[in-house]
Structure 1
């Protein structure tokens, strides 16, 4: 009776809690006010516009008005790092194989040695084997739950915010050293558990037959909303010193090409034509770049050359002229650009392999690890070449460079910086630089500390915080639009997270409530069954008495 009373009280207390937590979990973007930023910059307006998307008639009226609608809405994730079998004990180290080996050991002992052997085996089973088995079980449960935790973040945000595009900024899995079978297993989990309703960008959508060719799509093409724009990370294919053709090929088969770019044409809504101050239809140039092979020494110089050839083809043939303000360049890559120590959590760091070649799996003295791209690649390959920026104030358009934004991953803590040319730059430490070199050297400061008036040239780089549970299940919501009144591009970005402890607690409480509810239901059925039998016994008892009389 005590157990029954306790179960009833627990159920009455837990049901309201379970309902509240479940409602919060599946509507957490609503409670957090997560929404793609609006043109006005108002948080309330952004939330209202997101809400209106779930009411078609109201939203349709806004879509017809380009002063309200934000056509490019990018849902951004970074570093899910799906782990797998490599983080679990080997099959032969499982509890049952260990027990079988213990039994074989006992059976092989002489009669007089069996008691001490049994004692030693029992101690090992209780103090080592069972705890290790429980730890392995916990790890399996953690891997299983983590997949659905990440999947919940994607599904809930995708449903609520309705992005036009989605990207994952690298480190899709947790190790580049896994076997092909394990790689395929993690890929299956990525597409069936985490991003279950999505698919990768097909090769034919982004493959170019000629360097001067350009793939162009409408920005409001709904088909891109269910495509995942995957960026290659070091845990997917390795760093420069250990990237092989085999690792890159299997990544591209599973997740899409590592280097590609497309251009999205701006939709022309009612009234736009009359206010357009540019000669061309505004467009957004999306560039996906495998930055992991840009620094040296690389294991495969041919693969490195291919990436540089790709980058040069973009710069030479598909970038708009620097003075063309109708084009916005959005760079998606994994490795952050160089930053002075103290700017972000990750300081500049490079490490290299030793004298051996690891059996041919990496290059001796090749690049083993890096926190940032090198200063040279960051400055010449990205800021000056790709974005066309310089310190030449005599030609304002050329000096300022192309409008754009850089999104990176890798640094799990995340960072938001402003790369700019400064006379007091700490980037270049060389003592033989000329005055002109020092005058046009680059620096980086936190976005919140930047001062627009102090720099003629600059671009923002957002290193997205990881979406792993240890980092708060973070996601980025990027809005990009063209202001036809000023003839300039604009963007805003908001972060949105979900505490992993809330996810686990909600599901544990829901399971307890489900168990208590089933217990209460079964108990009610049994009580009702007993009462019906008792009633039947009372109904036949008078006849039985007469028969005896």
Structure 2
């Protein structure tokens, strides 16, 4: 009997280690940094001075939605944060990105919570998504962090900017690589000339002027929480065809940026790539600039299992004139549950224990 119970304990320990630790590595090992193709590079842009220089490696994560005190049960919060912690740290260990961008909705209740709870949530964020000193991490504002445009208060906006050093529009230049990333606060592009929008427009124009004065003629990468305007996800190249909402029309300024704001950003910034979030679903779509050149946009799914059964992240390999993207799957929660259920067949174990007890009595 004791020998049998010891075997059960070992089985429990093994399945726990597999489902809560090892599975993240096993699944992520199926992904890697995309290899650049010399055929696909932009020959109109000056290549890197050092042809042997390795590309910049960038990781994108979206919609972590760290729970607060209102919307989630304590165990739900514990479970989701453990999953994201293990996924993130496993991915960071395996891929060693140079830069990591979080594309908004870091919190689920930032638009409601008190300053004290906000500080605790920010501390949890830095604990869950800690990175070594040689890895740079940047955060965009999402509507759950500060509220939609009509609900943004000066206090919530100020504390987010203070916590993550995130102005309305921010330019990040990787000096060695001459690659520019433009980060925008989606809620500040309503175009209604309020203080929020006026400041964002001013900051955007200053960055555009700096780009024009730059001696390096590379186009920036645009990052936004809201996707650029599209009617729906019906024309997206979907990663999975399981989304039941892909044909639902998008509401401007709520689901996506307005058509006017999107056209303004594309016209002024002329980005080479766009990365967005917010919908919790994956979507690849293309925009066209005034010269007819295609501008790809990737909308990244939520990183939280609370929002979908199959979260994911995205990897970007990029140089001054070349880029390629990989979409990396994380473990399906249904797979984890199935593994527990298969290995821990309680009825079978119970029958075996009863059988052993009967044999011992005999």
TM-score band, normalised by shorter chain:
0.7 to 0.9
Q: Secondary structure at the match of 1:496?
A: strand
Report what 1:240 is aligned to. Answer: 149
Distance in 2 (alpha carbons) for counterparts of 1:420 and 1:325 = 23
* Aligned match for 1:418, one of 283, 286, 295: 286
Check 1:152–1:9 CA distance in 2 against 1; reply closer, same or farther (3 A cut): closer
Structure 1 residues 68 and 257: alpha-carbon distance in aligned structure 2, compared to 1, 3 A threshold: same
Structure 1 500/185 Cα, relative in aligned 2: closer, same or farther at 3 Å?
farther
Tell me the residue number matched to 1:182: 117
Q: Do the aligned residues in 1 keep the contact of 2:179 with 2:319 (CA within 8 Å)?
A: no
2:251 to 349, 353, 362: 349
Instruction: State the Cα distance separating 1:231 from its structure 2 match.
Output: 0.4
1:479 to 313, 317, 328: 317
Provide the residue aligned with 1:466 in structure 2. Answer: 302
* 1:383 maps to 2:266: yes
Q: 1:414 to 1:163 in 2, by over 3 A?
A: same
Equivalences for residues 96-245 of structure 1 within 5 A: 139-175=73-109, 176-192=111-127, 194-197=128-131, 223=133, 225=135, 227-245=136-154
Residues 21 and 297 from structure 1, CA distance in 2 versus in 1: closer, same or farther, beyond 3 angstroms? same
Structure 2 counterpart SS, 1:158: helix
Structure 1: which 5+ residue stretches go unaligned? 42-64, 89-138, 199-222, 268-282, 351-368, 388-401, 422-439, 441-454, 483-488, 512-549
Residue 339 of structure 1 is aligned with which of 213, 217, 230?
230
> Is the radius of gyration larger for structure 1 or structure 2?
1
168, 171, 186: which one pairs with 1:261? 171
Instruction: Look up the match of 1:81.
Output: 65
CA distance in 2 between partners of 1:255 and 1:509 (Å): 43
SS at match of 1:312: helix
Structure 2 length as normaliser, TM-score?
0.78
Corresponding residue for 2:210? 317
> 1:64-104 CA deviation, whole Å, 9 max, x = no partner?
x955653311111000011110125xxxxxxxxxxxxxxxx
Q: Which residue of 2 aligns with 1:72?
A: 56
Shift of residue 39 of structure 1?
Answer: 2.1
8 Å CA contact 1:24–1:31 kept in 2: the answer is no
Alignment length, in residue pairs?
320
TM-score under structure 1 length normalisation: 0.53
1:491-520 C-alpha deviation (Å, 9 max, x unpaired): 111111222525678899999xxxxxxxxx
Q: Identify the residue that residue 291 of structure 1 maps to in structure 2.
A: 186
Change (3 A) 1:84 1:68: same
**Alpha-carbon distance between aligned partners in 1 of 2:192 and 2:71, rounded to the nearest angstrom:** 30
Structure 2 residue aligned with 1:115: none
Could you say which residue in structure 2 is the equivalent of 1:35? 32
Higher relative contact order (CA 8 A, sep 6+): 2
Determine which of 479, 485, 491 is the counterpart of 2:323. 491
Instruction: Provide the rounded CA distance (Å) in 2 between the counterparts of 1:27 and 1:384.
Output: 42
Correspondence for 1:371 among 255, 268, 276: 255
Distance 1:265 1:17, change over 3 A: same
Q: Secondary structure at the match of 2:29?
A: helix
Structure 1 residues 264 and 189: CA distance shift in structure 2, 3 A: same
In structure 2, relative to structure 1, the CA distance for the partners of 1:5 and 1:264 (3 Å cut) is closer
Conserved 8 A contact 1:169-1:233: yes
CA RMSD of aligned residues (A): 3.2
Distance in 2 (CA, whole Å) between partners of 1:412 and 1:294 is 21
**Equivalent residue in structure 2 for 1:327, among 218, 232, 235:** 218
Q: Against the structure 1 CA distance between its residues 5 and 189, is the aligned structure 2 distance closer, same or farther, given a 3 Å change threshold?
A: same
- Once the two structures are TM-superposed, the CA of residue 378 in structure 1 deviates from its matched residue by 0.7
TM-superposed CA distance for 1:12, in Å, is 5.7
**8 Å contact from structure 1 (residues 405, 460) kept in 2:** yes
Secondary structure of 2:222 counterpart: strand
- 1:347: how far off? 2.8
What stretches of structure 2 of length at least 5 have no aligned partner? 39-48, 237-245, 345-362
Could you say what secondary structure the match of 2:70 adopts?
A: helix
Q: Deviations over 1:468-527 (max 9, x none)?
A: 114323110111024xxxxxx11111111222525678899999xxxxxxxxxxxxxxxx
Match of 1:308 among 201, 208, 213: 201
Instruction: Note if contact 2:313-2:328 (Cα within 8 Å) is conserved in structure 1.
Output: yes
